[in-house]
Amino acid sequence: MIATLTNPREKFWGAILHLASEGLSLRGVDVASFDNLASQIKNGEPFTSGVVFFPMHRVERMELDLPEGNILSLAQRFAEKTGQDPSPLLVSEFLSSAREKSGARSGGDESR
């Protein structure tokens, strides 16, 4: 998903974690940092993207990250550069963190 924001104008690429009338939470990177992220992953460095929240008044547009004609999507470019599917990188750490928090609230014993 690509989110175009206003004031200041920015574009973010990533996975939507939560969408509500208050705003958009996603895990990803500024499109301007995309090539740096791909290089970092390709070199075996840890993924350091964080979860960001944008109030809805800043969200101008959200679009699926799809290829257009001969132009690859950012996800396809990421996979081509790194040899990895970006989906697990964008979602897995968030899901692991959410499971840990959920386990902590329920007493931490997930074997029940």
pLDDT tens digits for range 10-58: 999 999 999 999 999 999 999 999 999 899 889 988 876 678 999 999 9
Q: Is residue 104 domain-resident?
A: no
**Domain count along the chain:** 1
Segment 45-100, tens digit of pLDDT: 887 667 899 999 999 999 999 999 999 999 999 999 999 999 888 876 545 554 55
**Residue 46 has what DSSP assignment?**
P
pTM assigned to the model = 0.77
Q: Is residue 111 domain-resident?
A: no
State the Cα–Cα distance between residues 107 and 75, nearest whole angstrom: 38
Q: Is residue 103 domain-resident?
A: no
State the Cα angle at 56 between 51 and 62, rounded to 5°: 75
| Owning domain of residue 87 | 2-97
